[in-house]
Amino acid sequence: MNLNSMQEIVSLARREGKKFWEVVLETDMENREVSRYESMEKMAQTWHAMLEASQVYTGERRSASGLVGGQGKLMYDYAAAGKCIGGEFMGQVIGEALAMGESNACMRRIVAAPTAGACGVMPAVLIPLYWRENIPEEKMVEAMYVASGIGAVIAYRACISGAAGGCQAEIGSASAMAAGALVYLKGGNKDVMCHAVAMALKNLLGLACDPVAGLVEVPCVKRNVIGAVNAIAAADMALAGIESRIPVDEVIDAMGEVGRRLPVELRETALGGLAATPTGRAVKKRLHGNRGKKKRTLTIKDARWKLEKPAEEASEAPVEGETVPAT
């Protein structure tokens, strides 16, 4: 089986009386030449790495640029105080998304899903539900296969990197994967799952990738929140019986097409969108101000170079046109 089309996976699963996740599992066994046990063991480790990343979060760290850190903690505290407009559960989802995005920016261990920048979406929907509903471990691992299969189809038909297709390809794909996993955990059938995936991706179509100073910090951390909240909304809509009028594979193709048409300034080059705002440019100048002036040789003691440069000293060097891709 090639994971090339949602429709094909669903039909094959139906024909053979299998679950969607089993088809994905068997494809992995075939592809990597591993046993069922080996594959499931690896997926369980991946799930545990997500859980652990969530549990070790304290909110105390700050990213290299100082732009990111502590937002998840603020949200958790606010939700715990019962103030969250969307209720405590939604507060936890938002907090989890921020905490993971932040952990990534602060060089903590995360699971890229499908990318490091979008690493908060999957755990943000899975972990609060796992705790609230006491879902068995095996079921969580199965949901991870569902999400992986969806991601593989998106990667095949469209793309999953900001450089190739903008943020719709990262946060959008993560949101679609999460929506599918949620439907599975809630007992929806395969058609319902396809509608949820389609709706989640549709809602984020066209989203630009515009990281300030080229770093996976602003807006990436907070974009994980919209990915997670959108996944929940799409899953709920699908479970309520609402259908996507455009079939899921066509939606994925459309995402790929929109991605190809996005100007290069909005595909991770940090030359457009939020990165090109006056504030975005000022941040870039502060961080990379002395770049390109002259090549310097550095030793251990001054290896923290650019970051400790005072802003005034750095600001005289105009930096234009340098592209700074980062995944």
Partner 1 sequence: MIDIFDIMGPIMVGPSSSHTAGAVRIGRMARTLLREEPVKADIHLHGSFAGTGVGHGTDKALVAGLLGMAPDNLDIPNSFEIARERGLDFTFDEVDLREVHPNSVLMDLTGDRGGRLSIRASSTGGGRIRVDELDGVEVSFTGDYNTLIIQNMDKQGNLSEVTTALSLAQVNVANMSLHRSSKGGNVMMIIETDDPVPDAIVQLIENRPGILQVIHYRKED
User: Which spans of this chain sit near ligand SF4 (rule: CB under 6 A)?
Assistant: 115, 117-118, 162, 167, 170-171, 209-211, 216, 219-220, 223, 268
Given the complex with ligand SF4, which of 10 and 213 has the nearer CB atom? 213
Distances (CA, A) of 161 to 20, 127, 216: 25, 24, 13
- For residue 142, the partner it binds in partner 1, ligand SF4, none, with Cβ less than 5 to 8 A by kind, is none
CA end-to-end span of the chain, whole Å? 29
Shortest spacing between CB 102 and partner 1, in angstroms: 9
Given the complex with ligand SF4, which of 27 and 173 has the nearer CB atom? 173
- For residue 103, the partner it binds in ligand SF4, partner 1, none, with Cβ less than 5 to 8 A by kind, is partner 1
Which of 248, 195, 204, 241 lies closest to 4 in space, CA to CA? 248
- For residue 64, the partner it binds in ligand SF4, partner 1, none, with Cβ less than 5 to 8 A by kind, is partner 1
- For residue 201, the partner it binds in partner 1, ligand SF4, none, with Cβ less than 5 to 8 A by kind, is none
Alpha helices in 16-70 (DSSP H): 20-32, 36-55
DSSP 305-320: HHHHS-HHHHHTS---
Given the complex with ligand SF4, which of 251 and 266 has the nearer CB atom? 266
- For residue 313, the partner it binds in partner 1, ligand SF4, none, with Cβ less than 5 to 8 A by kind, is none
Shortest spacing between CB 170 and ligand SF4, in angstroms: 4
Residue matched to tokens 């940090």: 270
Given the complex with ligand SF4, which of 93 and 209 has the nearer CB atom? 209
- For residue 14, the partner it binds in ligand SF4, partner 1, none, with Cβ less than 5 to 8 A by kind, is none
Shortest spacing between CB 139 and partner 1, in angstroms: 16
Given the complex with ligand SF4, which of 100 and 129 has the nearer CB atom? 100
Coil, strand or helix: which one is 215?
A: coil
Coil, strand or helix: which one is 267?
A: strand
Which of 102, 129, 81 lies closest to 232 in space, CA to CA? 129
- For residue 165, the partner it binds in partner 1, ligand SF4, none, with Cβ less than 5 to 8 A by kind, is none
Q: Can you read off the two tokens belonging to residue 220?
A: 């990436």
Distances (CA, A) of 100 to 83, 192, 224: 22, 28, 9
User: Are 249 and 7 in contact, with CB atoms under 8 Å apart?
Assistant: yes
Q: Can you read off the two tokens belonging to residue 48?
A: 């545990």
Shortest spacing between CB 122 and partner 1, in angstroms: 8
Given the complex with partner 1, which of 16 and 41 has the nearer CB atom? 41
Residue numbers at the binding site for partner 1 (CB under 8 A) = 2-3, 24, 27-28, 31-32, 42-43, 45-46, 49, 63-65, 103-117, 119, 122, 144-145, 147-149, 151-152, 155-156, 160-161, 163, 177, 213-217, 287-288, 291, 295-300, 303-307, 322-327
Given the complex with ligand SF4, which of 179 and 216 has the nearer CB atom? 216
Q: Rounded to whole angstroms, how far apart are CA atoms 311 and 290?
A: 10
Distances (CA, A) of 176 to 102, 158, 213: 21, 13, 27
Q: Rounded to whole angstroms, how far apart are CA atoms 306 and 319?
A: 14
